[in-house]
Amino acid sequence: MNKLTIKTLAKELNLSVSTISKAIRDSHEISTSTKKRVNELVEKLNYVPNPYASSLRQRNSKTIGVVLPEIVDSFFAQAINGIESVAQEKGYHVLIYLTHENLEKEKMILKDFESGRVDGVLMSVSRETKQAGHIYELMDKGVPLVFFDRVFEDIETTKITTDDYESAHAATEHLLNAGCRQILFLSFSSSLSISNKRLNGYKNALLEKGLKVTDKNILSFNNQSKIDYLLLKRKLMSRTRPDGILASVEKLAITIYQACGDLQLRIPEDIQVISFSNLETASFLNPPLTTITQPAFEMGKTAASVLVKALGRKKFELQKEEIVIPSILVVRRSTKGF
Amino acid sequence: MNKLTIKTLAKELNLSVSTISKAIRDSHEISTSTKKRVNELVEKLNYVPNPYASSLRQRNSKTIGVVLPEIVDSFFAQAINGIESVAQEKGYHVLIYLTHENLEKEKMILKDFESGRVDGVLMSVSRETKQAGHIYELMDKGVPLVFFDRVFEDIETTKITTDDYESAHAATEHLLNAGCRQILFLSFSSSLSISNKRLNGYKNALLEKGLKVTDKNILSFNNQSKIDYLLLKRKLMSRTRPDGILASVEKLAITIYQACGDLQLRIPEDIQVISFSNLETASFLNPPLTTITQPAFEMGKTAASVLVKALGRKKFELQKEEIVIPSILVVRRSTKGF
DNA sequence: TTTATTTACGAAACCGTTTTCGTACAAAAG
DNA sequence: CTTTTGTACGAAAACGGTTTCGTAAATAAA
């Protein structure tokens, strides 16, 4: 059980290691006949080159790092699917890291990336990320990074998003058209640009209809489902109970259904509900949930494509460019626009 | 913008590279005072060691490969969560690969693992995997592998599963007790042991009640949702329409709801439904879905723990051991046992 | 005091590739 | 026939760490 290296092949064929290496990499310096000899031996001995030796020498790793807040979420799962599809096609490997919405973890992960472990990174920031020092530091070391979905605005790089403002605006209009006058907006972060864009879409839709925007109708969640749940429940029990809810993220939709179930509130009769969501089961919920469905797969795929393309260039600089892939509003029975 | 290596530090401190290396790794050979000097410089210059250089020398990579059929699936997403939790804690990195139920892809992935890219692998086999040559080959090269959920029976290694037979048995009994007499079993693979165990649990539950097992009540799906959908629909339109369905995997549950909706079949009045599933939305479906909920997170966590523990040993041999973590039957309104 | 041990460090080999040169020989050009 | 160009290969130096081994000085044991 001796380790099988390029040297083994060299000895076996009476060639030098450099020749073997070049043959395997199909260099023009090597005659077709010896290439054939080499490849046959490779096949026979089942030789697979050590990627870390290559990485060390070539100063690249053919792997991309994906850092995201969580994975048990339809959006992120689908996004990974998109990422993986291009990684597989282009021969890249994908390392996955979860921040669990924790900034400290995010920092540690990016710090590790400074080692050269990954050629580039795909990232959706945590809800705690208000400062971007760790991101700048990584990019300063020359590691290309593209954001998807949850971007950090200021940073000069490519960002793949959906039309957060417009779709929140459309969703709000939809609720308004369906008769809502007190629409509760459920936010999951007060700092994230994505969350604020959605909030602004909501606000402006109200203003355009001549309605007031009030803080009482904006509920910021803490990502601690128990507390969030109670918060929502209290809001739903108040005398000024909203007649519509716009949830800015999938997870919140479930909380809403739970609370409404508990409080015996009927959807959509008592309260209409719409949510950003990629739930595959949206159509089968009780009632079917009206969603703003994000192009999760496409976003992941695009992000990965942009990154890989940049990695293919000698001087991979990412433009400060924003690629927006629109979401679609799928009206179902949780709202009356049906 | 010179590359920052251990040599830089050595020069700066008038020490040898070996001393630096040892200091960083907290070797007892180095005095506390120089360790301190080194660490301070590391901090100051923001030095992060190149992992591939280490990997090359140490012949390990501190990364584990996770190969699974798909990721847009509550079970697998939660399992990854479990895996990641121990990886993060133990300082391992996790490479994710998707087979999309394709044996050829699975083979290519495992082949790549022969390179030493990963220290160990966590795997849930594709539904096409009937032969295990590629798996044996990898293990022969000394790469430890532990299966989770979808295991390959014959292979001598640790396997983390849930109590597939028992829970399918219990689910079937539940349907029988709720009055079903024609229970359709929805299978997603005729070769996978997990699928067959579930099938056997179903069969025996019937036999124990003195009922016949008939092939007409066993429907094998092809993983092509259109076709599967039509297959199911036809079955539901036949004059011998089943009065209960046991779906052996989450994805099928959605298909059932779809078909029943289309055919105006009422659940559970016309047909009762139960499914293996980790859907977070099960309670909010219409009607709420009775599920056999698998301990997905735990399974992933356990699999990773076992693997990491094995990697910690000098001679990491995995026993042929089966760790079974039970599922729980959560009765909801899609069955009448409620 | 002599010998054994411990402490703290450095030189150099090594991990398995890739890549830069150098070169021998053959073929083409002059 | 000499000179240039090409072709096919090898030697050796990287890549950036880790590890083995050697050793000088300090300390402990005899």
Separation in Å: D2 C1' and A239 CA: 106
Please give the structure tokens belonging to residue A139.
């990019």
Q: What's the CA gap between B253 and B275, in Å, rounded? A: 6
Q: What's the CA gap between A86 and B103, in Å, rounded? A: 19
Contact B286/A281, CB-based, under 8 Å? Answer: no
Contacts (Cβ under 8 Å, ≥6 apart) of A253: A247, A273, A275, A277, A279, A289, A291
Contact B281/A285, CB-based, under 8 Å? Answer: yes
Residue of A nearest to B67 (CA): A94
Contact A80/B88, CB-based, under 8 Å? Answer: no
Q: With cut-offs at 50, 70 and 90, classify the pLDDT of residue A223.
A: confident
User: Is B338 a residue whose pLDDT tops 70?
Assistant: no
Contact A51/B94, CB-based, under 8 Å? Answer: no
Q: How many CB pairs below 8 A link A and B?
A: 130
Q: With cut-offs at 50, 70 and 90, classify the pLDDT of residue A317.
A: confident
**Residues of chain B contacting residue A121, judged by C-beta atoms under 8 Å apart:** none
For strand D, is any atom closer than 7 Å to the CB of A2? no
A287 upstream amide cis, omega within 30 of 0: yes
Q: What is the mean pLDDT of residues A284-309?
A: 97
Cβ(B160)–Cβ(B182) below 8 Å: no
Listed range (A9-13, A220-224, A330-334, B17-21) with the worst mean pLDDT:
A220-224
Which nucleotide's C1' atom has the smallest distance to the CA of A27? D8
The 10 Å Cβ neighbour count of residue A46 is 12
Residue A329 φ then ψ, to 5°: -85, 120
Question: Apex CA A254: angle with CA A248 and CA A258, to 5°?
Answer: 130
Please give the structure tokens belonging to residue A183.
């629409």
Separation in Å: D14 C1' and A57 CA: 8
Q: What is the biggest distance separating any 2 CA atoms in chain B, rounded to whole angstroms?
A: 88
For strand C, is any atom closer than 7 Å to the CB of A60? no
Q: What's the CA gap between B168 and B166, in Å, rounded? A: 5
Alpha carbon of A51: minimum distance to chain B alpha carbons (Å): 6
Which tens digit of pLDDT belongs to each residue from A138-189?
999 999 999 999 999 999 999 999 999 999 999 999 999 999 999 999 999 9
Contacts (Cβ under 8 Å, ≥6 apart) of B219: B184, B185, B186, B187, B231, B232, B235
3-state secondary structure B66-92: EEECCCCCHHHHHHHHHHHHHHHHHCC
Separation in Å: D20 C1' and B315 CA: 22
Alpha carbon of B211: minimum distance to chain A alpha carbons (Å): 33
Residue of A nearest to B63 (CA): A95
DSSP structural state of residue B163 = -
DSSP β-bridge partners for residue B285:
A285
Residue A329, helix vs strand vs coil: strand
Residue A314 φ then ψ, to 5°: -65, -50
Q: What is the mean pLDDT of residues A73-87?
A: 98
Name the residue among A74, A94, A279 with its Cβ closest to that of B96.
Answer: A94
DSSP structural state of residue B231 = H
- B297-332 residues labelled b (16+ CB within 10 A) or e (exposed): bbbbbbbbbbbbebbeeeebebeeeebebebebebb
Q: Percent of chain B beyond pLDDT 70?
A: 99
Q: What's the CA gap between A76 and B96, in Å, rounded? A: 14
Cβ(B147)–Cβ(B209) below 8 Å: no
Q: Which nucleotides in chain D have some atom under 7 angstroms from a protein Cβ?
A: 7-12, 14-21
Residue of B nearest to A63 (CA): B95
**Which of A24, A72, A88 is the best substitution to test chain B (most B C-beta atoms within 10 A)?**
A72
Residue of A nearest to B80 (CA): A71
For strand C, is any atom closer than 7 Å to the CB of A107? no
Contact A50/B70, CB-based, under 8 Å? Answer: no
The 10 Å Cβ neighbour count of residue A332 is 19
- Number of Cα atoms under 13 Å in the Cβ half of residue A227: 7
Q: With cut-offs at 50, 70 and 90, classify the pLDDT of residue B65.
A: very high
Separation in Å: D12 C1' and A13 CA: 20
- Number of Cα atoms under 13 Å in the Cβ half of residue A228: 21
Contacts (Cβ under 8 Å, ≥6 apart) of B209: B173, B176
Contact A52/B48, CB-based, under 8 Å? Answer: no
Which tens digit of pLDDT belongs to each residue from B95-145?
999 999 999 999 999 999 999 999 999 999 999 999 999 999 999 999 999
Cβ(A123)–Cβ(A68) below 8 Å: yes
**Which of A5, A42, A43, A93 is the best substitution to test chain B (most B C-beta atoms within 10 A)?**
A93
Please give the structure tokens belonging to residue B194.
């997990």
Residue A39, helix vs strand vs coil: helix
Which tens digit of pLDDT belongs to each residue from B258-274?
999 999 999 999 999 99
Report which of residues A315 and A115 the model is more confident about: A115
Residue A255 φ then ψ, to 5°: -60, -40
Separation in Å: D2 C1' and A163 CA: 74
Cβ(A303)–Cβ(A285) below 8 Å: no
Alpha carbon of A26: minimum distance to chain B alpha carbons (Å): 19
For strand C, is any atom closer than 7 Å to the CB of A31? no
For strand D, is any atom closer than 7 Å to the CB of A56? yes
Which tens digit of pLDDT belongs to each residue from B158-199?
999 999 999 999 999 999 999 999 999 999 999 999 999 999
Alpha carbon of A211: minimum distance to chain B alpha carbons (Å): 32
- B211-239 residues labelled b (16+ CB within 10 A) or e (exposed): bebeeebbbebebeeeebbebbeebbeee
DSSP β-bridge partners for residue A329:
A292
Separation in Å: D24 C1' and A7 CA: 39
Q: With cut-offs at 50, 70 and 90, classify the pLDDT of residue B86.
A: very high
Q: What's the CA gap between A287 and A331, in Å, rounded? A: 12
pTM: 0.96
- CA terminus-to-terminus distance, chain A: 68
Contact B98/A81, CB-based, under 8 Å? Answer: yes
To the nearest whole number, what is the mean pLDDT of chain A?
95
Residue of A nearest to B117 (CA): A51
B69 upstream amide cis, omega within 30 of 0: no
For strand C, is any atom closer than 7 Å to the CB of A224? no
Please give the structure tokens belonging to residue B98.
């998707």
Which nucleotide's C1' atom has the smallest distance to the CA of B30? C8
Report which of residues B313 and B316 the model is more confident about: B313
User: Is A299 a residue whose pLDDT tops 80?
Assistant: yes
Residue of A nearest to B53 (CA): A56
Confidence at residue A1, expressed as pLDDT on a 0 to 100 scale = 52
Cβ(A83)–Cβ(A66) below 8 Å: yes
Question: Apex CA A228: angle with CA B84 and CA A295, to 5°?
Answer: 60
Separation in Å: C22 C1' and A86 CA: 42
User: Is A338 a residue whose pLDDT tops 60?
Assistant: no
For strand C, is any atom closer than 7 Å to the CB of B237? no
Confidence at residue B240, expressed as pLDDT on a 0 to 100 scale = 87
Listed range (A214-228, A246-260, B5-19) with the worst mean pLDDT:
A214-228
Please give the structure tokens belonging to residue B259.
């078909």
Which nucleotide's C1' atom has the smallest distance to the CA of A4? C16
CA of residue B254 relative to chain centroid, distance: 20
